[in-house]
Amino acid sequence: MAFFQDIFSIFQKKDLPFIESFQEAEGVYTFRFEKSEDVTWKAGQHGLFTITHQKIKNHTRPFTIASAPEENVIQITMKISDNPSEFKKAMLSLTKVDTIKMAGPIGSFYLKEDSPTMLIAGGIGITPFRSIIQQIEAEGNSNNKQIQLMYLDSNKSYIFQDELDQIAKETSVNVTYLHERDHLNKELDKCISSYSNDGHFFVAGPKSMVDATTTYLQTQKVPKRNIKKDVMFGY
């Protein structure tokens, strides 16, 4: 059913007027767009974004929607190197008279139940979890959820840290910042020990990080059905 919903959503394209962009950290930029009332998504899903203000070859790219529906803006956050792709150059050139198109939302990377949940982010993989945690705060029912966010970043950039820390103070969400994989594995061991087969693990980040974390969870006998993955390509 989710597959057919995604196919249907791809054909639902909306124009998004550009609001603003700003630098989150070195090489990381956030872009915000107006959200019309008929656009919605589940926190953690992707959109397919198309450049329309310039003619470029590869004009459509998937990005996680980093904002929650309750925020009433559509936000995407991405890495942009010193030698960016045509797509990312076009993103940096957006002005307030420009729009882009979004198709979607697509994907099943979102919370569906109230079981203990571990959100495991690697670098830019924090984007779906920002959306999810913002939505948890907006719904005001976090006390019914056991949510642990583990944020692995070897550069210690930790984008959205101020926002995450503030939400952690106001909800039952627990945030742990890590910069070494061994430390992540130790945190995972604690969760596996505490929740046995009841815990659900959401892993997002570069492919190497997602693959390594998934393999580790499986060697620790976490059932495959309890692991969801979101690989960030192109970084």
Amino acid sitting at position 38: D
In this structure, the answer to whether residues 91 and 23 fall within a common structural domain is: yes
Amino acid sitting at position 18: F
| For range 169-186, the mean pLDDT | 94
**Separation CA 113–CA 146 (nearest Å):** 11
Q: Which residues form the domain of 93? A: 2-106
**Separation CA 171–CA 142 (nearest Å):** 6
Q: How many CA atoms lie within 13 A of 188 on its CB side?
A: 28
Phi then psi for residue 102, to 5 deg, are -125, 130
**CATH assignment at residue 189:** 3.40.50.80
pLDDT at 181 over 50: yes
Confidence class for position 1, pLDDT limits 50, 70, 90: very low
| For range 162-172, the mean pLDDT | 92
**Separation CA 185–CA 169 (nearest Å):** 25
| For range 43-64, the mean pLDDT | 95
**CATH assignment at residue 75:** 2.40.30.10
Q: Hey, is 130 helix, strand or coil?
A: helix
Q: Which of 1-5, 123-127, 132-136 has the lowest mean pLDDT?
A: 1-5
Please report whether residue 159 resides in a domain: yes
Distance linking the first and last C-alpha atoms of the chain: 30
Q: The tokens of 187 are what?
A: 């945190």
Confidence class for position 144, pLDDT limits 50, 70, 90: low
Enumerate the β-bridge partners of residue 48.
62, 103
Q: What is the mean pLDDT of the chain?
A: 91
Confidence class for position 228, pLDDT limits 50, 70, 90: very high
In this structure, the answer to whether residues 95 and 174 fall within a common structural domain is: no
Beta pairing class for 174-178 and 147-152: parallel
